[in-house]
Amino acid sequence: MKVETAGTQDNEALTQLMEEHRRYSEKLEGLSQSPYLSAEDHMEELRLKKLKLRVKDEIVGHRPYRFN
């Protein structure tokens, strides 16, 4: 029987979120290589930006705050 701690689960969730954020970035980079975006591509770009921002918000929520 494998016992996972909350910290391990949080680390796995954070890793998955960071991977998802990276995938959205790569897809956006691919779209930005095109000199012209069709209406469909533009809508996809907006969708990906929103998803990427949502994931970033989730990532920030998992990280402890640092005060300098």
The end-to-end CA distance of the chain, in Å, is: 42
Phi, psi of 2 (to 5 degrees): -100, 130
Q: 12: number of CA atoms within 13 Å, CB side?
A: 6
pLDDT at 3: 41
Query: Whose CA is closest to 51, among 63, 40, 43?
Result: 43
Which amino acid belongs to residue 64?
P
pLDDT digit string (tens) for 1-39? 444 455 678 889 999 999 999 999 999 999 999 989 999
Q: Could you give the CA distance from residue 62 to residue 68 in angstroms, rounded to a whole number?
A: 19
> Global pTM?
0.76
